Amino acid sequence: MSNLWDGLLIDARIATLADTAGYGLIERGALGWQDGRIVFVGPMDELPGAPGALSRHIDSVDGALVTPGLIDCHTHLVFAGDRAREFEMRLQGASYEAIAKAGGGIVSSVHAVRAASEDELLAQSLPRARALLRDGVTTVEIKSGYGLDADNEAKMLRVARRIGIELGIGVRTTFLGAHALPPEYAGRADDYVNLVCNRMLPAIADAGLADAVDAFCEGIGFSLEQTRRVFEAARRHGLPVKLHAEQLSRLGGASLAASFAALSADHLEWIDDDDARAMGAAGTVAVLLPGAFVCLRETRLPPITSLRAHGVPMAVATDCNPGTSPLLSLRLAMALACTQFRLTPEEALRGATAHAAKALGLSDRGHLAVGLRADVVAWDLREPAELAYWLGGPEARRVIVGGIG
């Protein structure tokens, strides 16, 4: 059995994100991997031998920027059809809430998902996952939430798992049965929450289809008490929780999530300083979703200063979904997090790598260090800030997932 490494990048400008601050830049760096794990990352002149004697394959990247694989920690990218017509309605003045109350919004995607076969759903979702992969994403979180009954929620989560197998990328799945009230439960929200907690969640947990549980705690979603019941059911089945919290109003969802030691609370435009303090104390990650903020033309900004002050790790994600954030570039989400929310480019990159990994409860990726997964991207760029600077532009030069690519 050869002891040669499977791959080695040299002449790289490596941003490791390995420390709690700064890019962790290594000039004239080298990164080697074997059996899907990083075996060396550091200055070239510290390599334990000549490159040709160390590795089967060597790639000199001529000073190009190399980063950890990007992690998109909040997406709804499995769905059918589109909601471009709603987009036009919103631009003509209709509000997101009014469209939802009139039976559009999430529920219109529910009809499309229920009508699609599992293979059709996979075929429509794969191009979106491929777009993220080309943009440097090596791990993606994918939620259910457009099925809203046991069979269709399970169908969505099976499609999510198949995307990981088909593309060879990391996929973490999240059960979001408490996303909206299905038409057949109109006016009977508590009955539907009973179905979610007592039938859907147990079946999905027993089938191993979900890595976490999420809910939409909002005036047009579910109440604080209904959300608490979903969290208690998740806890009974040993699943961690996340929450769509304080997107359009303050119900107290973020603090409730913190009280359940949630992996993350997401959106957060309407949290207050006490919510940020509770999240900091609990280690709950703040997932910022500037795509939805921009597409809904929101005006209330998440309190970044407060999140920083309370040491809340901030992640950035696309929230890729057909209604509020049809966004297929995590780098564009990073750019919007800087220009709209005033994150620094370093915070944005950390938010799409190390902090995104934490939001998914993953410790084997998100920065570059010996022993971690060889999820690595080489860019046709030099400065780490360029990842948030360019709006669109050069896709990744080389994406390596688990040592392959």
- 214 scored as a contact of Fe ion (CB under 5 A): no
Of 214, 269, 275, 319, which one interacts with Fe ion (CB under 5 A)? 319
Among positions 28-67, residues that touch ligand DI6 (CB under 6 A) are: none
Residue 240 binding partner per list Fe ion, ligand DI6, none, with a CB distance cut-off of 5 to 8 Å that depends on partner kind: none
Residue 152 binding partner per list ligand DI6, Fe ion, none, with a CB distance cut-off of 5 to 8 Å that depends on partner kind: none
- 275 scored as a contact of Fe ion (CB under 5 A): no
- 106 scored as a contact of ligand DI6 (CB under 6 A): yes
- 125 scored as a contact of ligand DI6 (CB under 6 A): no
Q: Cβ of residue 254: shortest distance to ligand DI6, in angstroms?
A: 14
Of 324, 349, 365, 405, which one interacts with ligand DI6 (CB under 6 A)? 324
Is the Cβ of residue 279 or residue 292 nearer to ligand DI6 in the bound state? 292
Is the Cβ of residue 40 or residue 175 nearer to ligand DI6 in the bound state? 175
Distance separating alpha carbons of residues 45 and 39, to the nearest angstrom: 16
Of 16, 109, 124, 139, which one interacts with ligand DI6 (CB under 6 A)? 109
Of 34, 55, 284, 321, which one interacts with ligand DI6 (CB under 6 A)? 321
Kindly report each contact of residues 18-21 with a partner whose C-beta sits within 8 Å and lies 24 or more positions away, as own/partner.
18/367, 18/368, 18/369, 21/346
Burial level of 82, CB count in 10 A (0-12/13-18/19+)? middle
- 141 scored as a contact of Fe ion (CB under 5 A): no
Residue 323 binding partner per list ligand DI6, Fe ion, none, with a CB distance cut-off of 5 to 8 Å that depends on partner kind: ligand DI6
Of 144, 173, 226, 247, which one interacts with ligand DI6 (CB under 6 A)? 247
Residue ranges in contact with ligand DI6 by CB under 6 A: 76, 105-106, 109, 179, 216, 244, 247, 292, 321-324
